Amino acid sequence: MLMTVEQIAEEALALPSEARALLADRLVESLDPAEDGLIRQVWMREARRRIDEVRSGSVKTIPAEDVLAQVRQAIAR
C-alpha cells in the first residue's frame, strides 16, 4: 500500500523530536543540489518581502530580549 505525503507527514510528526530532527536532516540532504539555486532565490524574495514589511511599518518587530524571555518562559513550563 502506498502512503500519501499527508500520511507520511502524520507518521513523521508522531516520532520523538530527535528522530524527527534526524529525518529532517536526511530529507534536506536528499534534495537535488541543482534546486539549491531556486531555493535560495525563493528565500531571498521572502527576506526582501519581510524587510519591506518592517520598513513600511506594516509589521511590528519584537525586541530580541522580549522574544528570548518568552522562549525561556515557555521552556520552563
What is the percentage of the chain residues whose pLDDT exceeds 90?
A: 74
pTM above 0.85, yes or no: no
Model confidence pLDDT, tens digit, residues 45-73 = 999 999 999 999 999 999 999 999 999 99
Average pLDDT, the chain: 91
pLDDT at 30: 87
Answer with the residue of higher pLDDT: 34 or 9: 9
Contact 15, 21 (CB under 8 A): no
The DSSP letter of residue 15 is: S
Domain spans of the chain?
1-30, 32-77
The residue among 28, 1, 23 whose CA lies nearest residue 11 is 23
